[in-house]
Chain A
Amino acid sequence: MMSASLLLAELSYWQQTSIRVGAGLAAVLLVAGTLVYLHLFKLVSFMQSRLGPMEAGPFGSLQLLAEVGKFLQKEDIFPRKADRFVFAAAPFVVLMSTFLLVVVVPGGPDAWFVDSELGIYLAMAVSSVSVIGILMAGWGSASKYSLLGGLRATGQLIAYELPLILAVLGVVIQAETMNMQGIVMAQAEGEIFGFGGIGNPYLLTQFVAFGVFLIAMQAELTQTPFDMPIAESELVTGYMTEYSGMRFLLFFIGEFATAGVFSAIAAVLFLGGWYIPGIDPADNLMNILGPLVMVGKIVVLTFLIFWFRFTFPRFREDQLQRLAWKFLIPIALTNIVVTGILKVAF
């Protein structure tokens, strides 16, 4: 069998990029669809002692396609006083942010979208683009609920971006690289007190950073303990209030796709990425197994997200800001200093 690396190397840049774009579309949309079905439709139903969708397809697995079909037929309503251009552009910006974010996620030794030396730094930079989209949605709607929701979302997203970035730094110090592949390889080749059987997933050494990252990720995704921006009992649906039909669904798709991509980044940083113990990471087999391993780790991490989502009550705005500024940021800064000292000492 011809190795995939050879196969890709023979292709021109445009051919390679077309393959990568196709894979990227699948990675965003298929994963988002799977997460919506597995967690939002089924997991929550079982937690609430009901069956969830059962009619469309086996065990309701085609429910999401039916939903898309329904939303496609809904009227597209613009509020009369809305800033039409900003209102219409907001979903584009939100989805663009998701696709810019997915480029750094690797799926195997050769199965990557962009092998940038800046890897995780690039991801942290482009993840803030979605804030602009949300603020645009809130402002463009010209509605009080939307504006409040947009402002709350912005305040929350920028507050929790800091612990997110600072948590990542602990991993970067340990791996000595910002390249996502480099971080995976550093974990695959790592040793735990001289035992290299399972590599060294940074979950074991960077557990503080992992905790901070998970909490900040929950807030970045505005999932329930941190859902002040779309608090349905006060703000209807926050910045999405005035959106209808397909535009509303696009925000929804963006939310779940971003949940999948963020989980993938967390899996790379803390759970060893596409590496599984027992198989040589240079083996060509990993180009096929790797993406499946990633999907498995994504499902586990998103399970945690949705478990928290359906368990905890909502934070108030002041509690939410206090948690970020007075707890998570000092903890993450301390983690950086301690990791740095240990790194130099050993």
Chain B
Amino acid sequence: MFPRFVQPKTSQVGSLFVSDFLRSYLTVGIFGLVGVALVGAFLGLGRLLRPNNPTAAKTEVYESGVDPVGDRWSQANIRYYIFALLFVMFDVEAVFIFPWAARLEVYEVFGLIEMAIFIFILLLGLLYAWRKGVLKWV
């Protein structure tokens, strides 16, 4: 009923299809630029209206009302880095699961078992991190 929503077959990959494909990403890019332009417009409008009178006290960073102490970029907890590493592992996996999920009907039981093994290995990884105490925030 909606021919334009039908998934393109591989045989349909001609110049027309590819050009539509690239054009849709051009639109995505334009939307990103519109977001940037909107911020620019707001700030530009503000520039016409707002005062500009920086003093030493104003440009000091806020530290609960007392003079800031020590280095401006303090050291951070290593935990954040470890969680970032864990995230990369799982995020890459999502790249593999998405195409499988959209085409599960085609691969049937074979695809299901394949993905079950994949997800099982991933869960083992999570379990390993869990046992190692990486998931504990201290």
Contact = CB atoms under 8 A, between A and B. Distances in A.
Interface string B33-54: 0111011101101110111111
Contact of B123 (A102, A143, A333): A333
Contacts of B108: 344
Contact of B101 (A122, A172, A247, A325): A172
A269 to B, nearest CB: 13
B18 interface: no
A330 interface: yes
Contacts of B112: 340-341, 344
B8 to A, nearest CB: 7
A336 interface: yes
Contact of B27 (A20, A142, A154, A155): A20
A114 B29 CA distance: 11
A329 B61 contact: no
Contact of A77 (B59, B79, B126): B59
Contacts of B45: 72
Interface residues of B, number: 76
B8 A25 contact: no
Interface stretch (A198-206, A302-310, A314-322): A314-322
Given A73-B50, A75-B52, A318-B136, A80 B35 contact: no
A78 B53 CA distance: 11
Interface of B: 1-2, 4-5, 7-8, 23-25, 27-28, 30-32, 34-36, 38-40, 42-43, 45-47, 49-54, 56, 58-64, 68, 72-74, 76-77, 79-80, 83-84, 86-87, 90-91, 94, 97-98, 101-105, 108-109, 111-112, 115-116, 119, 122-123, 126, 130, 135-138
Given A158-B84, A236-B64, A343-B105, 19 more contacts: A24-B31, A73-B51, A76-B50, A77-B54, A91-B39, A102-B31, A114-B27, A117-B7, A145-B62, A158-B87, A169-B97, A173-B101, A178-B98, A185-B2, A246-B43, A282-B1, A325-B86, A337-B119, A340-B115
Interface of A: 13, 17, 20-21, 24-25, 71-81, 91-92, 95-100, 102-103, 109, 113-117, 121-122, 124, 126, 139, 141-148, 151, 154-155, 158-159, 161-162, 165-166, 169, 172-173, 176-179, 181-182, 185, 236, 241-242, 245-247, 249-250, 282, 317-318, 321-322, 325-326, 329-330, 333, 336-337, 340-341, 343-344
